[in-house]
Structure 1
């Protein structure tokens, strides 16, 4: 294979709407394609814009997903300088970005801090002073949507102006983040009270405020009693250059939700931190800047019960005399645990705008936590249910996400056998599964052996009680479980078989949500006494056998099941041309049909079997315009003419075709497929096929991606492989061989070299 795998995990799944429960995904073992575009898109969100352009050429999958998540772009000085120095003109470069990043909706220009317009979400002012106070009234009135306000430096000669500004700011009821840099001269007790009252006004009126940053520049002592009213505060940063009272942080005892605290207080003493563990018991993040910390400070900090990260920021010229023992003592007291959160572990769940420059992500370098629960949930979604239980203990992140994507569960024989042989009782095991997987929507318990049938109702009751989202159950019917079927009937949407287990056919009417049904005779869906149809509005119907004696049932069934999309009649026996016409005429009325499976045995006394078959198929194709999948099984008669299928010419919308027959085959049997331009999947079970049937297959089926051949007579040799290798779009080739013969390595290598897009070859 000269090329890499290029398609996503459903690369060989056509885009028709037919259900396809048995077709496995197709991908190379060494390819990440099996994880799909959804996983790639999340992974690539962690790249910078520059890295996205660098990595775009890695694969087709990268090209599809690398720019999808780019929704904002920053035009900085560095960015513009690089544009000016690029080999291409900066206009061409910007055009390239705009074409690739077609979904961004937010542009921030750091070259100009002035913001204009109404209905802003964020405003940053580098400077504000008394003369501009009159602008606040109009600005606030037109920007009630403002969520983040940053005033870097506000100069006030008189506290009256500050009171006026804070009064206007208190009208911003949607505000979630506020940063104030207040510059005063000397503050006496009266002016200090005015400042606190102004801040209290904002705290009382801005109920959604969750992040507050205060930078107070004054030459006199400062207190902040107004912080008591900021009860929803989650993040606080204080910066002050004046002398600090030891009780400065006492008001924080009323901020029960505070998780992040930053202190830039050069003139504070260690006593400020003394009772911090009492005032802020939920504090996870602590930043201390421009303060000469000592062992006494560390001792106070170590008492914080929820602290996850401590940052000590100091200038290069400052020296600290901490010993290793000091830090080990701190760690032993309060930081024995590893980082346990997701990438936003220290980001509270408020809806405030994130500014990743001011609030960097916090995680250990050797931890996958930085990738977040969204990525982890996608990765574990590829695990089986059994593996999910095995890997649940890996981390807290796995525990949070490993069962979140479990929305369907299959109760098969192996699963039940393991339950019965487990150390814990099967009821306990099922209860554990149901509790851990509360989002289960679908349960499939079809095709379970008779010996285990008695356990199924009990299992389903458990899931029904614990899984509030449970909406569908796929099952067979169980004998001697009348009450169980009656109570579970509203949830049952698919029945796999054994309708004879019903105490009365009339019970079918209980399953009013039934969409899939499998029976051995069409007569089983009609009431014995009055002939009333009991199954209506089906989408999938499987009929194991049918004969002309029940043709009179088709008109009523077809009329009440116009929604039918998939029909399988496994075995049909006819002896007259008229009976074939009758059934064909009825089936051709199913205009929504997308998948049809027919097993036909014609023993006509009044016509040519093959000719009648082609007329039959031609009429269905002419009326069932949405038919995309056709499976045909044909049982021949002795001395019958060569088998041909000219009727395939009219199946122009067909995407998948399966043919099985024991008849003698015409070498040009597949030539009509030339007209099926959308055919991508072909499956052949031809007992008497010759190599010539495959000679021009590449001309008949130029879009073929999947080919399955049941090689009953070992005719697939080097010559046949050469014919198959010409298929230009073939991605998967499966051969079923009845004899224990293999191809040489050279033969396989040549076949692979000639097949440009082949992903998988399988010999079974």
Structure 2
């Protein structure tokens, strides 16, 4: 009896202990044991759409799920599903936004003005009519604190650009600026014209470090002024060459100007269907010699001249041995391929993007680039032999 009683007591004791400690075990195994700081850190890795769902979990999640958000990036897919009222609701919850990337209209610009007092960087696509009044209000609020401005104009260019141009002049703190547009349908003023100022010696952006712009032959004089006023301090430029109006002479002016930017660390040049690029290898050599701090080079050369491609590769191999990142692409003829010794002098590379490589090139990647961490191969004939070679390489990001 006593033994049975002992067992019953023991079982009851276990049962009682389990019941009394169940909430404690539950608390220990739940997110409640994390402080707000750690919870915010974990939630910071979630996409915006995932945050919407988690907001419904608890009042605590409602409090912390948007707290760590400083960058608000809304892609085209989500942007089309998001109405202006929902967008404003998001801004009200994300009280610490410093950077925004999305497609904007009048209503969204107004909401940003109301709810984003810490805004310092924008990457916006103007799609549709933007009123001058709203644009003026936006820059009146943020001009003195914006550090990075990137704008892509999808709608009628001249209307938006004229208002944007006027307001950009008041953004004296900006360190990076880019204005992109469909240059195939526009021949008027652009960002280089703005950078020239009202007189040749005016420096509108004394802290400028990086710039993206479109270049054509009619921009030569403005570009020369730009280089004279900003060339010594620029660390990064991205140039899209307007193939409608850019000959070998204009390319020589462009590349010659780049060679006078000694602080340059990041250079990206994209051309499209340029028939005459004879001066490219020579000018690239001068850039390599003069820009000793250059760490990243990106060239997209859409020329049918295999000779130009081969000479350019040799120039890079001989004069850019300090760079850490290389992107080399274009549209050569089908006969053009990168051989095993292409770029074998660039032993410091950690990131590499190439096209039209051979089996021998892939076979020697590890020996040629011992520090490589990232590899992207475009237009490669993926045979079984190539796949086998790639599988034996160290863990690269593809």
TM over 0.5: yes
1:720 aligns to what SS in structure 2?
helix
Task: Find the counterpart in structure 2 of residue 554 from structure 1.
Answer: 223
Alignment of 1:1-12 (within 5 A): none
The counterpart of 1:543, out of the listed 213, 222, 239, is 213
The counterpart of 2:115, out of the listed 453, 457, 463, is 463
Tell me, in whole angstroms, the C-alpha distance in 1 between the residues paired with 2:267 and 2:306.
28
The counterpart of 1:718, out of the listed 371, 380, 384, is 384
How far did residue 528 of structure 1 move? 9.3
1:678 aligns to what SS in structure 2?
coil
Query: Which structure's residues are more often helix, by fraction?
Result: 2
Task: Find the counterpart in structure 2 of residue 371 from structure 1.
Answer: 34
1:657 aligns to what SS in structure 2?
strand
Contact 2:234 2:264 in 1 (8 A): yes
Q: Root-mean-square deviation (CA), in Å?
A: 3.5
Contact 2:125 2:152 in 1 (8 A): yes
Tell me, in whole angstroms, the C-alpha distance in 2 between the residues paired with 1:556 and 1:675.
35
Contact 2:338 2:355 in 1 (8 A): no
Tell me, in whole angstroms, the C-alpha distance in 2 between the residues paired with 1:371 and 1:603.
62
How far did residue 682 of structure 1 move? 1.5
Tell me, in whole angstroms, the C-alpha distance in 1 between the residues paired with 2:259 and 2:309.
27
Alignment partner of 1:709 is 2:358: no
Contact 2:304 2:331 in 1 (8 A): no
The counterpart of 2:268, out of the listed 594, 597, 603, is 597
Contact 2:203 2:229 in 1 (8 A): no
Task: Find the counterpart in structure 1 of residue 237 from structure 2.
Answer: 567
Task: Find the counterpart in structure 2 of residue 439 from structure 1.
Answer: 96
- State the TM-score, normalized to the length of structure 2: 0.74
How far did residue 587 of structure 1 move? 0.6
Contact 1:548 1:579 in 2 (8 A): yes
Tell me, in whole angstroms, the C-alpha distance in 2 between the residues paired with 1:488 and 1:670.
54
Tell me, in whole angstroms, the C-alpha distance in 2 between the residues paired with 1:416 and 1:667.
41
Contact 1:486 1:510 in 2 (8 A): no
TM-aligned CA distance change 1:708 to 1:638, over 3 Å? closer
Contact 1:392 1:402 in 2 (8 A): yes
Task: Find the counterpart in structure 1 of residue 177 from structure 2.
Answer: 516
Task: Find the counterpart in structure 2 of residue 385 from structure 1.
Answer: 48
Contact 2:212 2:239 in 1 (8 A): yes
Contact 1:522 1:550 in 2 (8 A): no
Structure 2 gaps of 5+ residues are 1-12, 184-189
How far did residue 568 of structure 1 move? 1.5
1:709 aligns to what SS in structure 2?
strand
Structure ID, larger Rg: 1
The counterpart of 1:682, out of the listed 319, 344, 352, is 352
The counterpart of 1:658, out of the listed 327, 337, 359, is 327
Task: Find the counterpart in structure 2 of residue 625 from structure 1.
Answer: 292
The counterpart of 2:396, out of the listed 706, 723, 731, is 731
1:630 aligns to what SS in structure 2?
strand
- Give a deviation string over 1:292-312, Cα, whole Å, max 9, x none: xxxxxxxxxxxxxxxxxxxxx
Task: Find the counterpart in structure 2 of residue 486 from structure 1.
Answer: 136
Contact 2:338 2:358 in 1 (8 A): no
Contact 1:591 1:625 in 2 (8 A): yes
How far did residue 557 of structure 1 move? 0.8
- State the TM-score, normalized to the length of structure 1: 0.41
Tell me, in whole angstroms, the C-alpha distance in 2 between the residues paired with 1:474 and 1:668.
36
How far did residue 369 of structure 1 move? 2.3
Contact 2:100 2:121 in 1 (8 A): yes
Tell me, in whole angstroms, the C-alpha distance in 2 between the residues paired with 1:615 and 1:695.
31
Tell me, in whole angstroms, the C-alpha distance in 1 between the residues paired with 2:131 and 2:371.
50
The counterpart of 1:673, out of the listed 330, 335, 343, is 343
Tell me, in whole angstroms, the C-alpha distance in 2 between the residues paired with 1:626 and 1:638.
30
Tell me, in whole angstroms, the C-alpha distance in 1 between the residues paired with 2:80 and 2:280.
46
Task: Find the counterpart in structure 2 of residue 181 from structure 1.
Answer: none
- The number of residue pairs the alignment matches comes to 352
Alignment of 1:218-617 (within 5 A): 364-420=27-83, 426-427=84-85, 429-445=86-102, 448=103, 453-464=105-116, 468-476=117-125, 479-489=129-139, 490=143, 492=146, 493-498=148-153, 500=158, 501-503=160-162, 505-514=165-174, 515-519=176-180, 520=183, 521=190, 523-525=192-194, 536=205, 537-544=207-214, 546-561=215-230, 562-571=232-241, 573=243, 574-576=246-248, 579-600=250-271, 603-604=275-276, 609=278, 612-617=279-284
Task: Find the counterpart in structure 2 of residue 12 from structure 1.
Answer: none
How far did residue 401 of structure 1 move? 2.4
Tell me, in whole angstroms, the C-alpha distance in 2 between the residues paired with 1:459 and 1:616.
47
Tell me, in whole angstroms, the C-alpha distance in 1 between the residues paired with 2:308 and 2:350.
29
How far did residue 405 of structure 1 move? 0.7
How far did residue 717 of structure 1 move? 0.4
- Give a deviation string over 1:342-391, Cα, whole Å, max 9, x none: xxxxxxxxxxxxxxxxxxxx993443322332322221111222322321
Contact 1:439 1:469 in 2 (8 A): yes
Highest relative contact order (Cα 8 Å, sep 6+), 1 or 2? 2
- Give a deviation string over 1:138-169, Cα, whole Å, max 9, x none: xxxxxxxxxxxxxxxxxxxxxxxxxxxxxxxx
Contact 1:670 1:693 in 2 (8 A): yes
1:497 aligns to what SS in structure 2?
strand
Tell me, in whole angstroms, the C-alpha distance in 2 between the residues paired with 1:495 and 1:668.
35
